[in-house]
Structure 1
Amino acid sequence: MKKFKGVQGIAASLLLVSVVTACGSNSSNGEAGGSSPSASEASGGSGSASASGKEVKITLLNSKGEIQTQLEDAVKAFHEDNPNITLEIQTVPAGGSPFERASTLYASGNPPTMIMLDTGDVEKFKDRILDLSGEKWMADTVPNATDLTTYDGKNYAFPLAIEGYGFIYNKAVLDQAVGGSFDPSAITTTTALENLFKQIEASGKKALVISPMDWSLGAHYLPLAYAGQSKDSAEVDKFVESLKAGTADLANNKVFNGLMDTFDVMMKYNLDQKDPLSGVYERGPEVLGKGEVGIWFMGNWAWPQISGFDTAGGQYGFLPVPISNNPDDYGNQEISSAVSKRIVLDKEKSSPEQQEAAKKFLNWIVYEQKGQDFLVNKANIIPAFKNITLPAADPLGKSIQDYIARGKSEPSMSLLPADHWSKVGASMQKYLAKQGDRASLAKEIEEYWKSVK
């Protein structure tokens, strides 16, 4: 069974990306920094698609639906620079699993040239994807960015994005609620969070909205109970192994109960408490951006949608999800973050020319100004490459970078089983809808882990 390894290394890599971003923020013209070669130099050669001038068509399966439009625009810019390469974007259905979609495409004999996967899914395709260890960008990744996708000394994935999540707040709403300038550092306990909820509601707004999608509850919220067990990654590993072995006792676990105490408070003040499973992803950014609620549990990937409704002048940030009433307990002041999305290259069906064209696209993202602009300014992604010195373009990215720089980052659980979010997310949905109590939730989670092969 795969172990949850390398979480402390990810935290170190996140810290470094914050530092190098700060170092590069003195560029007043906004151009891409670094002295690395251009994408054409990095991936060129007599065998490359560009060198031969041959028309090449490649595909990319996108599993970050929130950047679909931005990615399509990037493809147009890439084609302008590489007119002999046509890149088509395919999509994972909303709420679907990238692992399942990629598996279906392989089964049909028509896999994409490039596949955007969650970190934990990369190893499942190891025998079907290219070893990328020799690529130029490997030397420019932040430390530990490829650790979780390296097997037997070979790296199989391109680290696309560093992401983080927690409570996103609309500062204009919170300023009104507290009668002054809201101080996020004041929210370090469950009681403090509930008091803030009360203040928001007293001001005439709703405290928060809970998005009930299984991936949000099962892949983001509940895993805080795993990662929050200890700052020591070895202890987190032991806890996960105890879940698999059936020896963990969630019903009496302090972190799990503390996290669920916070969830109970969230349920009490939820905008959709009368019909808690009715919400969809698109509802969150709308009600937060319009200032109808003060807080939304989600990640920095949501900024493009929030910005479309923004009435707060771009003033947003993150609050950690508290798990106790002791401010010093691990997790009460930390934001969960990690390298999340990876791009892998098919070697089973794609031709050498297609593989070279796909490599050129990845290098274009890392080394060309247009590619870096897409990543940071358009897609609002925190890059995992130290040569990209563009500062975060949005308030949520800046907030995460601030937590990282202050050493307040809790490594996300990047290697959860592929069906964790659907199976355990469904259990969380039952709890949210009050169709089960905490004891039954704990039991269902324990039963799930004992079934993991």
Structure 2
Amino acid sequence: MKKKWFKGLLSVVAFSLVLSACGNSKDANTPGEGSEGKEVKITLLNSKGEIQQQLEDAVKEFHNDNPNITIEVTAAPAGTSPFERASTLYASGNPPTMLIMDTGDVEKFKDRILDLSGEKWNADAVENATVLTTFDGKNYGFPLAIEGYGFIYNKAVLDKATGGNFDPSTIKTRDDMENLFKQIEASGKKALIISPMDWSLGAHFLPLAYAGQNKDMAEVNKFIDGLKAGTADLSTNNVFNGLMDTFDVMMKYNIDQNSPLSGVYERGGEMLGKGEVGIWFQGNWAWPQIKSFDTANGTYGFLPVPISNNAADYGNQEISSAVSKRIIIDKEKSTPAQQEAAKNFLNWMVYDQKGQDFLVNKASIIPAFKNITLPAADPLGQSIQDYIAKGKSEQSMSTLPADHWAKVGASMQKYLSKSGDRAMLTNEIIEYWKSVK
């Protein structure tokens, strides 16, 4: 889903990027007379920070194939939601041509962005990939990536802890999970690391309590409506309390329990990749960080986050996944030539061999298109694909309010640091939802 921004991403970008104006620069707003052989300059706001370098390389490849089109890529500033950054750029009258946005943000810009319903790739998208960005029969979002998250495990650590070939299907309940934590620590390693970033806690972990209410998303939406209306009693909700009971166990075995808010995103990848811990709660987007610290060429995969001790309960054996990132195209300030150039880039990713290679092999993205048959290039993507293929997938909450991860994530941070108890957390979540218009 995303929301993975970390230090160092505000780097110089392809083709003479000027960070002070990450929308369409003056030059970018002055393309040639058309896209057929005329020079066109367009811009792309990237909110999927972990693929910044790969995206810079991709637009260079695209430029080689389309020398009349130059794309400048800028990273959304660390700590800022893509909605906030996009809103600022639109307010300044300088939006980029293309924006990588979270799914739930697309509707907020639908009057300012291009209707993409006529594009060929709509027919090649995986089932339901465009449902959440379709309004009044028009699709406004290009489904960029399927992402999933849960407990990432280092198999070498778990093999040693369990005295054999670790089988992820053996972890079906909270007690199974805690027993595994005990085995890992008995082997001399730490069980897990909790990354304390508000986006990880507020956009990924806590939403498991929403999505886990029911397999039917219509029922989940009713639950959210109940939270907004103040009629859903979160304090007695079994799924929410079960998830938080699981979080209590995680806190007990957290390698950073003495300083739970001190960790940064990169530390999780380092601890797991080096085999210092066996498990890290994170998503498949984290593979580049894990890989950079893995010198043993190890094996990794996902475990679901159990919410009870009944193996049959929904969520105990499912991995959360969804199309999390979308590309939208501005129509308010961009010219027709720029819009066509942006469409060409989207088609290049879906139908060109180099574009597909960028998505799957370079950026470690699970594509949302049936025509792209390349297998996931990394073990985390492969693990997510395996859960989906087996029908063990829980729909991620990809349409939460833009400020949810910041505000509710801050409440989760207080709980993690033990500066607030369960009652505090529950009340702050309730009050947040009652404030949502």
Q: Would you say same fold, with TM above 0.5?
A: yes
Equivalence for 2:431 = 447
2:221 matches 1:246 = no
Q: Map residues 365-404 of structure 1 onto 2, 5 A cutoff.
A: 365-404=349-388
Query: Which of 223, 228, 231 is the equivalent residue of 2:212?
Result: 228
In structure 2, runs of 5+ residues without a counterpart are 1-31
Equivalence for 2:331 = 347
Amino acid at match of 1:297: F
In structure 1, runs of 5+ residues without a counterpart are 1-46
Amino acid at match of 2:202: G
Amino acid at match of 2:208: L
2:52 matches 1:68 = yes
Percent identity between matched residues is 82
2:265 matches 1:281 = yes
Instruction: Provide the secondary structure at the position in 2 that maps to 1:339.
Output: strand
Aligned in 2, Cα 1:204/1:48: closer, same or farther, shift over 3 Å?
Answer: farther
Query: What is the distance in 2 between the residues matched to 1:352 and 1:232?
Result: 41
Amino acid at match of 1:360: N
Deviation at 1:49, TM superposition (A): 4.4
Does the CA contact (< 8 Å) of 1:171 and 1:312 recur in 2?
Answer: no
Higher normalized contact order (CA 8 Å, seq sep 6+, divided by chain length)? 1
Does the CA contact (< 8 Å) of 1:431 and 1:438 recur in 2?
Answer: yes
Equivalence for 2:307 = 323
Query: Which of 201, 214, 218 is the equivalent residue of 2:202?
Result: 218
Query: Which of 43, 47, 51 is the equivalent residue of 1:59?
Result: 43
Does the CA contact (< 8 Å) of 2:50 and 2:285 recur in 1?
Answer: yes
2:245 matches 1:255 = no
Deviation at 1:231, TM superposition (A): 1.2
Does the CA contact (< 8 Å) of 1:175 and 1:182 recur in 2?
Answer: yes
TM-score by length of 2: 0.92
Query: What is the distance in 1 between the residues matched to 2:266 and 2:289?
Result: 8
Deviation at 1:95, TM superposition (A): 2.9
Does the CA contact (< 8 Å) of 1:172 and 1:312 recur in 2?
Answer: no
Amino acid at match of 2:371: N
> What's the CA shift string for 1:211-256, capped at 9, x where partnerless?
0000000000000000001112222121111101101111111001
Does the CA contact (< 8 Å) of 1:48 and 1:357 recur in 2?
Answer: no
Equivalence for 2:282 = 298
Does the CA contact (< 8 Å) of 2:35 and 2:338 recur in 1?
Answer: no
Query: What is the distance in 1 between the residues matched to 2:259 and 2:50?
Result: 25
- Looking at secondary structure, tell me which structure has more helix per residue: 1
2:410 matches 1:407 = no
Deviation at 1:50, TM superposition (A): 4.2
TM-score by length of 1: 0.88
Equivalence for 1:18 = none
Query: What is the distance in 2 between the residues matched to 1:248 and 1:150?
Result: 28
Root mean square deviation of aligned Cα: 1.1
Query: What is the distance in 2 between the residues matched to 1:312 and 1:203?
Result: 19
Amino acid at match of 1:98: P
Equivalence for 2:418 = 434
Q: Map residues 12-161 of structure 1 onto 2, 5 A cutoff.
A: 49-51=34-36, 53-161=37-145
Query: What is the distance in 2 between the residues matched to 1:165 and 1:251?
Result: 25
Query: What is the distance in 2 between the residues matched to 1:297 and 1:236?
Result: 23
| Count of residue pairs the alignment pairs up | 406
Equivalence for 2:166 = 182
Query: What is the distance in 1 between the residues matched to 2:275 and 2:242?
Result: 28
2:354 matches 1:336 = no
Query: What is the distance in 1 between the residues matched to 2:119 and 2:226?
Result: 38
Amino acid at match of 2:406: S
Equivalence for 1:26 = none
Moved more, 298-307 or 309-318: 309-318
Instruction: Provide the secondary structure at the position in 1 that maps to 2:158.
Output: helix
Query: What is the distance in 2 between the residues matched to 1:356 and 1:248?
Result: 46
Query: What is the distance in 2 between the residues matched to 1:389 and 1:227?
Result: 29
Amino acid at match of 2:373: T
Query: What is the distance in 1 between the residues matched to 2:259 and 2:312?
Result: 35
> What's the CA shift string for 1:266-315, capped at 9, x where partnerless?
10111111110001111111110010100000000111111111144240
2:292 matches 1:308 = yes
Does the CA contact (< 8 Å) of 2:156 and 2:298 recur in 1?
Answer: no
